[in-house]
């Protein structure tokens, strides 16, 4: 039989050959590292028989796909078996992979806590010692249910009942253990490919994500190709925990959350200073880029959301309000806006627009609300109430390329000013749930692709992750410890203007629907501030720091000079505090360092007599002595926003 390879060549194999046979025919090195195959675009087990005339590529353990399969095998065949060995009353649910690792959900009468993880790890290592083969077999629905019924695995039976198929259920066994598991696969051919791993935490999870169902125990872990990669990952986790914006936010007294307003931020004065400073900076940048800043209502009638398409596509994420209209025998249904686009179209629609006005750029710091499940919220990073640096550009089709370039130039400047000099670009294509015809989507995707390629920028395709109304470019930042954050977005929309009757008068005198760009640079202010806090570990650039300078007295005799310095700096718009407490200077410095004050000034008798200041920067043990005038001049210049 003939097998087509990725390089365009073909291999002749005997009928009934599998992926391992193919790998051996190519080379011994490939056969040694092969763990699975891709057959006609679908991942399959290495020992699956290959169909004639199929297109096949080999997945090796060194590849990202191989690492994913290793993690999946580890959770499904090793973690699950270890739990069954140690907790005989347990029932298995599901064990998928996640970013950098895996988890398994189990039901057990014996509680499992984080203190039990070392014991489970040791049992996993014992199972791995035999380097057992993993064997797959296919079964009918009846036979598969019978096998799991004999083992008391009622949750697996539910999974089978919920499946659309009635045949070919894949059951994997460990050749050296009395263990079976139902799984979509593929798995490693044997356990010798398992690298280094560590179980990390335990939490609760409702069966099938439904709060009316049983609460299961979820055991998380991380796995890597070798011990070095594992230790590097664990070190990055440790560093991330040190930078956690929730902890730093508390140390700096920036914000808090409470049960009476889940997912809503209570900004404290210092946190609001960061927010307001960032907002002022963004407002200036957008005005210079010819955006007109507006503000639109937070509560809008459902009729507009229905017309825009959001009611059908986004209803489950919207907060709904009902009111009894005066002089009417009906309730009026409104929604808190989850996004700003329909409101921006209403502003555009006030008056007749000419082609000469395009591109027409609107921006808004729009207060939005979206329902997020309680289990998904995470400090500032995922909230229910947030503000977007939202914008919409109304343009013609022949302006798509130029506006893409202008937007990316603006975005690049903003990111550089905020400390991010590089970013990745993703082109996200049509999702399954969408509005508009395939012809419109073809045109929109091609337009974005051409625009980004004309700029000579690298990008990757993210299939199916576009907005429901159009494809988009997503901009991904890398922070100080290598984590990826998707922030900016440029979404091309050929649909909404037509749905909401937005038009312009063209040069030929006829009316046409404009194309729309939905765009954001920061995304959510709340989330971006969280990213900034973690990227800088709280040590924000001076222009963003809520308190820029703290002036501390060493002795009571310096109090008047401390007050003079503080008043001088505040008169120059420096955010400055005084600390005249009767405490040792070392205590004051330590306390203000925890609060992430960038510049701490110590003033004693010598500084008073010489009209100088002793300056210490956050993160440094060195001090410098400057005259008050020289320090004031330098700090005023340093405290200016980058666009001033």
Residues carrying an active site annotation: 341, 370, 388, 390, 392, 472, 518
Rg (CA), the chain: 30
Contacts of 30 (CB under 8 A, 6+ apart): 23, 24, 58, 60
Residue with tokens 């009622």: 154
Distance CA 220, CA 75 (A): 9
Helix (H, G, I), strand (E, B) or coil at 105: strand
Q: What CA–CA distance (Å, rounded) separates 393 from 477?
A: 23
CA–CA separation, 236 and 238 (whole Å):
5
Q: How far apart are CA 418 and CA 412, in angstroms?
A: 10
Encoding tokens for residue 517?
A: 């760009």
- For 197-201, the CB contacts below 8 A with 24+ separation are 197/74, 197/121, 197/124, 197/221, 197/222, 197/223, 197/224, 197/230, 198/121, 198/222, 198/223, 198/230, 198/234, 199/79, 199/117, 199/120, 199/121, 200/101, 200/117, 200/237, 201/114
CB 37 within 8 A of CB 19: yes
For the chain, how are helix, strand and coil distributed in percent, rounded to 5? 40, 30, 35
Nearest-angstrom CA–CA distance, 73 and 185: 8
Residue 544: C-alpha distances to residues 419, 529, 549 (Å): 12, 10, 12
């Amino acid at each position: 039989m003939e097998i087509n390879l990725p390089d365009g060549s073909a291999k002749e194999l005997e009928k009934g050959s599998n992926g391992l046979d193919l790998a051996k025919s190519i080379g011994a090195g490939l056969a040694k590292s092969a763990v699975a195959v891709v057959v006609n675009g679908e991942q399959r087990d290495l020992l699956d028989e290959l169909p004639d005339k199929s297109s096949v590529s080999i997945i090796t353990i060194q590849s990202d796909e191989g690492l994913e399969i290793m993690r999946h095998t580890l959770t499904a065949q090793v973690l699950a078996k270890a739990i069954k060995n140690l907790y005989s009353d347990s029932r298995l649910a599901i064990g998928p992979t996640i970013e950098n690792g895996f988890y398994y959900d189990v039901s057990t009468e014996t509680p499992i806590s984080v203190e039990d993880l070392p014991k489970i790890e040791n049992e996993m290592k014992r199972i791995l010692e035999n380097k057992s083969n993993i064997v797959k077999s296919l079964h009918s629905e009846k036979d598969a249910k019978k096998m799991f019924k004999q083992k008391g695995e009622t949750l697996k039976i539910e999974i089978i009942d919920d499946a659309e198929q009635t045949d070919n259920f894949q059951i994997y066994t460990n050749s050296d253990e009395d263990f079976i598991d139902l799984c979509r696969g593929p798995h490693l051919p044997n356990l010798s490919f398992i690298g280094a791993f560590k179980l990390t935490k335990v939490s609760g999870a409702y069966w099938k994500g439904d709060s009316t169902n049983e609460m299961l125990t979820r055991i998380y872990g991380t796995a890597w190709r070798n011990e070095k990669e594992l230790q590097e990952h664990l070190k990055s986790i440790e560093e991330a925990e040190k930078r956690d914006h929730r902890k730093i936010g508390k140390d700096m007294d920036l914000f808090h959350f409470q049960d009476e307003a889940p997912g809503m931020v209570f900004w404290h004065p210092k946190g609001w200073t960061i927010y307001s400073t960032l907002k002022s900076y963004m407002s200036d940048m957008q005005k210079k880029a010819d955006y007109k800043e507006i503000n639109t209502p937070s509560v809008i009638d459902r009729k507009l959301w229905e017309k825009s398409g959001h009611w059908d596509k986004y209803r489950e994420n919207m907060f709904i309000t009902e009111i009894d209209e005066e002089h009417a025998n009906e309730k009026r249904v409104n929604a808190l806006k989850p996004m700003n686009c329909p409101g921006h179209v209403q502003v555009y629609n006030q008056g007749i627009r000419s082609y000469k006005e395009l591109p027409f750029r609107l921006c808004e710091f729009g207060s939005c609300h979206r329902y997020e499940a309680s289990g998904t919220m995470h400090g500032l990073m995922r909230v229910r109430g947030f503000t977007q640096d939202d914008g919409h550009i109304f343009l013609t089709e022949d302006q798509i390329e130029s506006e893409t370039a202008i937007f990316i130039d603006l975005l690049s400047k903003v990111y550089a000013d905020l400390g991010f000099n590089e970013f990745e670009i993703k082109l996200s294509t049509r999702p399954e749930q969408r509005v508009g015809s395939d012809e419109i989507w073809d045109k929109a995707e091609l337009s974005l692709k051409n625009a980004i390629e004309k700029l000579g920028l690298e990008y990757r395709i993210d299939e199916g992750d576009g907005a429901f109304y159009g494809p988009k470019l997503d901009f991904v930042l890398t922070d100080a410890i290598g984590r990826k954050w998707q922030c900016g977005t440029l979404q091309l929309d050929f649909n909404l203007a037509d749905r909401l009757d937005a038009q312009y008068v063209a040069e030929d005198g006829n009316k046409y629907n404009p194309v729309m760009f939905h765009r954001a640079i920061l995304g959510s202010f709340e989330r971006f501030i969280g990213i900034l806090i973690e990227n800088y570990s709280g040590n924000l650039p001076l222009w963003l720091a809520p308190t820029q300078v703290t002036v501390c007295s060493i002795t009571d005799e310096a109090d008047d000079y401390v007050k003079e310095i503080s008043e001088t700096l505040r008169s120059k718009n420096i955010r400055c505090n005084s600390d005249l407490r009767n405490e040792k200077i070392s205590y004051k410095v330590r306390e203000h360092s925890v609060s992430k004050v960038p510049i701490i000034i110590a003033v004693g008798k010598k500084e008073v007599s010489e009209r100088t200041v002793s300056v210490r920067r956050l993160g440094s043990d060195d001090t410098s002595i400057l005259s008050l005038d020289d320090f004031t001049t330098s700090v005023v210049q340093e405290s200016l926003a980058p666009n001033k």
